[in-house]
């Protein structure tokens, strides 16, 4: 585990913001255009103005959604809308939600994690476009606006027991949004903070969500190191910087994967089909059995369990085409020998791309293709096909937590959009702002 440390977070002041629920938002990458508009209207200080600013006609390199985010952040600080905690703290974060009619609770904490690419396990490939977007924003605001979602393994549950002691405090934030209750406790008692830091030092860290943000934090660190080195060179300084800089750390949420519930949803695929292709379904029939079913509900019921929990060795997908309706597809066993034996290639999402989407519809480069898109909402997938945005929807089973852990520990990367952890971590609970540049004489 990379080094962890408490930090003096910036948070919405209760005297300035009476309704904290009105200024919080989901992570930027799950917010639709409609949700973005709703959050803009909800409160002029909603975090959406920072994490997902609107692009306006006439924007330039010097006036755009990123510069406006910086201006808003600076203004909120100067007006006391955001207030910095007086002492370094960790932020204990509790989420209560319902699954299958039962209330479940996930417990974790936020701290600043030293950026070390070799010490962090990642399971998912990333895309260049969102990384370019997040890096441009980070260069302007110089603040971690949303945490990375990290998992650690603590078989004895010692960290969990210490975190539960913080729940005896009064929560600084207690809000309910979209069926999830979110509580935040500011913990700065030396005994608790130091003990957690000590225990976490020996734990492996896996990213569950926020791969783009972590890679951007790494890029930003390199960018700042280059700027600082340039300033030092001009000043002809040879002594090392006095301390690690704030940008050498990234705000991260940690939760014990052995002692907390984790619900993972699949991300479904939407594809456009070349007009020259007369019968797309026939191409699929050559690769497996295609069974028509009555409704989306039937599809989702068939795909409700992970491949691991279902005990099925085969590969099952749901398919929707506007005119022909819904289908369940079973990949023919003759294709099984073509699937590599490593944990990633055996995933449903990997098999879907390599055995069906690539060979049947010639969609290979997800990064550069406009012929494919993703959604967590199966009803949205059906609607977008009905509206003609795409020609076909593919529905998947969820990836299991064990499958994700296995890929991470082996240093393998899943295809993009393989996992969707629920519930999402809210943006706006606390911010990690870069104020110490790591060298008192540097003004990079």
Q: Digits of tens for pLDDT over the chain (444 positions)?
A: 789 999 999 999 999 999 999 999 999 988 988 899 999 999 999 999 999 999 999 999 999 999 999 999 999 999 999 999 999 999 999 999 998 789 999 999 999 999 988 888 887 777 788 999 999 999 999 999 999 999 999 999 999 999 999 999 999 999 999 999 999 999 999 999 999 999 998 888 899 888 899 999 999 999 999 988 888 777 776 665 555 689 999 999 999 999 998 888 999 999 999 988 989 999 999 999 999 999 999 999 999 998 888 877 899 999 999 999 999 999 999 999 999 988 889 999 999 999 999 999 998 766 557 899 999 999 999 999 999 999 999 999 998 888 888 888 888 888 878 888 899 999 999 999 998 654 544 444
- Whether the full predicted model's pTM is greater than 0.75, yes or no, is yes
Q: Compute the distance between CA of residue 421 and CA of residue 240 in angstroms, rounded to an integer.
A: 41
Contacts of 349 (CB under 8 A, 6+ apart): 266, 267, 396, 399, 414, 415, 417, 418
Specify the pLDDT at position 343. 85
388: left (phi over 0), alpha (psi -120 to 50) or beta: left
Q: Compute the distance between CA of residue 270 and CA of residue 374 in angstroms, rounded to an integer.
A: 6
- From residue 231, give the alpha-carbon distance in Å to each of 217, 227, 249, 443: 21, 6, 21, 8
- Using alpha carbons only, give the angle 189, 195, 196 rounded to the nearest 5 degrees: 95
Q: Compute the distance between CA of residue 241 and CA of residue 410 in angstroms, rounded to an integer.
A: 36
Q: Compute the distance between CA of residue 62 and CA of residue 253 in angstroms, rounded to an integer.
A: 33
Q: Kindly list the domain boundaries of the chain, sorted by start residue.
A: 4-263+423-433, 267-397
- Using alpha carbons only, give the angle 181, 184, 187 rounded to the nearest 5 degrees: 155
Q: Compute the distance between CA of residue 444 and CA of residue 441 in angstroms, rounded to an integer.
A: 9
Asked if 187 and 110 count as a contact pair (C-beta separation under 8 A), the reply is no
Q: Compute the distance between CA of residue 144 and CA of residue 247 in angstroms, rounded to an integer.
A: 9
Reported as type and span, the H/E element at residue 268 is: strand 268-271
- From residue 172, give the alpha-carbon distance in Å to each of 94, 164, 169, 186, 243: 12, 15, 9, 7, 31
CA 355 to chain centre: 27
419-428 pLDDT, tens digit per residue, is 888 999 999 9
Beta bridge partners of 209: 149
Asked if 344 and 414 count as a contact pair (C-beta separation under 8 A), the reply is yes
Q: Compute the distance between CA of residue 20 and CA of residue 43 in angstroms, rounded to an integer.
A: 10
Q: Compute the distance between CA of residue 196 and CA of residue 17 in angstroms, rounded to an integer.
A: 31
């Amino acid at each position: 585990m990379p080094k962890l440390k408490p930090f003096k977070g910036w948070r919405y002041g209760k005297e300035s913001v009476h309704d904290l629920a009105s200024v919080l938002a989901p992570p930027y990458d799950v917010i639709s255009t409609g949700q973005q508009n709703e959050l803009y209207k909800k409160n002029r200080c909603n975090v959406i103005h920072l994490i997902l600013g609107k692009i306006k006609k006439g924007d330039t390199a010097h006036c755009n959604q990123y510069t406006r985010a910086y201006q808003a952040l600076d203004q909120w600080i100067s007006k006391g809308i955001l207030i910095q905690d007086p002492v370094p703290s960790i932020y204990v974060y509790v989420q209560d939600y319902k699954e299958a009619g039962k209330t479940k609770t996930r417990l974790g904490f936020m701290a600043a994690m030293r950026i070390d690419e070799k010490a962090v396990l990642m399971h998912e490939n990333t895309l260049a476009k969102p990384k370019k977007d997040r890096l441009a924003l980070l260069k302007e605001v110089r603040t971690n606006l949303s945490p990375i979602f990290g998992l650690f393994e603590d078989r004895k549950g010692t960290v969990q027991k210490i975190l539960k002691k913080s729940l005896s405090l009064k929560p600084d934030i207690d809000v309910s949004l979209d069926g999830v209750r979110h509580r935040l406790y500011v913990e700065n008692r030396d005994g608790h903070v130091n003990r957690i830091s000590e225990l976490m030092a020996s734990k492996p860290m896996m990213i569950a969500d926020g791969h783009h943000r972590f890679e951007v934090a790494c890029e930003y660190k390199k960018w700042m190191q280059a700027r600082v080195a340039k300033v030092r060179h001009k000043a002809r300084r040879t002594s090392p910087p006095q301390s690690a800089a704030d940008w050498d750390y990234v705000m991260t949420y940690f939760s014990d994967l052995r002692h907390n519930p984790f619900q993972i949803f699949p991300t479904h695929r939407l594809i456009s089909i070349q007009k020259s292709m007369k019968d797309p379904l026939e191409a699929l029939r050559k690769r497996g059995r295609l069974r028509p079913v009555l409704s989306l509900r039937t599809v989702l019921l068939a795909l409700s369990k992970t491949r691991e929990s279902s005990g099925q060795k085969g590969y099952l997908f749901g398919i929707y085409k506007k005119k022909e309706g819904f289908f369940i597809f079973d990949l023919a066993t003759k294709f099984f020998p073509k699937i590599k034996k490593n944990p990633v290639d055996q995933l449903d999402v990997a098999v879907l791309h390599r055995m069906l989407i690539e060979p049947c519809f010639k969609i290979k480069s997800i990064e550069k293709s406009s012929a494919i898109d993703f959604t967590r909402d199966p009803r949205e997938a059906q609607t977008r096909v009905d509206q003609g945005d795409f020609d076909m929807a593919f529905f998947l089973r969820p990836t299991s937590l064990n499958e994700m852990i296995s890929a991470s520990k082996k240093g393998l990367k899943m295809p993009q959009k393989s996992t969707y952890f629920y519930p999402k971590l809210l943006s706006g609970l606390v911010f990690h702002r870069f104020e110490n540049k790591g060298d008192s004489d540097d003004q990079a």
